[in-house]
Amino acid sequence: MSFSDLLSFSSGRPSLTAPRKRSGIYGVIAVVFVTTVVAAVQQGFTKTGAEINWVDVGGEGATCIAGLAWLYFVIAWRPAGPVTQWLSAGFALLSYGFFLDLLDEFIRFSHTGWGQSMESIVTPVAIMVLTIAALLLHQEQRILRRQQQRREANFRNHQAIDPITDLYNADYCRQTLAAAIEADEPLALWLVDIENFDHINRQFDFAVGDAVLNRVAATLVASVPRDSLVCRYAGDRFIALTRQRELALCLSQTLRDLLNNAMTLALFDAAGREVPCGVRVASVTPGDGETADAVLLRANQLLQAQKYSGDQ
Nearest to 156, CA basis, from 164, 165, 147, 168: 168
Q: Is residue 116 part of a domain?
A: yes
Choose the final residue of a domain: 120, 150, 180.
Answer: 150
Q: How confident is the model at residue 16 (pLDDT cuts 50, 70, 90)?
A: very low
What's the confidence (pLDDT) of residue 234?
85
Q: Is residue 10 part of a domain?
A: no
Q: What domain range is 96 assigned to?
A: 23-150
Tens-place pLDDT, residues 208-217: 888 888 888 8
242-251 mean pLDDT: 73
Question: What size, in residues, is the chain?
Answer: 312
Choose the final residue of a domain: 117, 150, 183.
Answer: 150
- pLDDT of residue 249 exceeding 80, the answer is no
Q: Is residue 14 part of a domain?
A: no
Q: Is residue 301 part of a domain?
A: yes
Q: Do 88 and 204 sit in the same domain of this protein? A: no
Q: Is residue 5 part of a domain?
A: no
Q: DSSP for 4-46, please give it.
A: TTT-------PPP-PPPP-HHHHHHHHHHHHHHHHHHHHHSEE
Furthest-apart CA atoms within the chain: distance in Å: 92
Q: Do 221 and 134 sit in the same domain of this protein? A: no
Nearest to 223, CA basis, from 234, 207, 238, 209: 238
Q: Do 68 and 168 sit in the same domain of this protein? A: no
189-214 mean pLDDT: 84
Choose the final residue of a domain: 118, 150, 182.
Answer: 150
Report how many domains make up the chain: 2
Q: Is residue 75 part of a domain?
A: yes
Cβ atoms of 237 and 247 within 8 Å: the answer is no
Q: Do 181 and 294 sit in the same domain of this protein? A: yes
Q: Is residue 237 part of a domain?
A: yes
63-75 mean pLDDT: 90
Least confidently predicted of 13-17, 91-95, 166-170, 175-179: 13-17
CATH number, domain of 299, equals: 3.30.70.270
Q: Do 142 and 193 sit in the same domain of this protein? A: no
Q: Do 36 and 130 sit in the same domain of this protein? A: yes
Q: Is residue 280 part of a domain?
A: yes
Write the CB contacts of 266 (distance below 8 Å, at least 6 apart in sequence): 211, 212, 214, 215, 216
CA atoms within 13 A on the CB side of 240: 31
Q: Do 179 and 136 sit in the same domain of this protein? A: no
Q: Do 146 and 165 sit in the same domain of this protein? A: no
Q: Do 32 and 166 sit in the same domain of this protein? A: no
Q: How confident is the model at residue 116 (pLDDT cuts 50, 70, 90)?
A: low
Cα–Cα distance between 44 and 12 in angstroms, integer?
52
Q: Do 183 and 283 sit in the same domain of this protein? A: yes
Q: Do 263 and 302 sit in the same domain of this protein? A: yes
What's the confidence (pLDDT) of residue 295?
92
Q: Do 30 and 124 sit in the same domain of this protein? A: yes
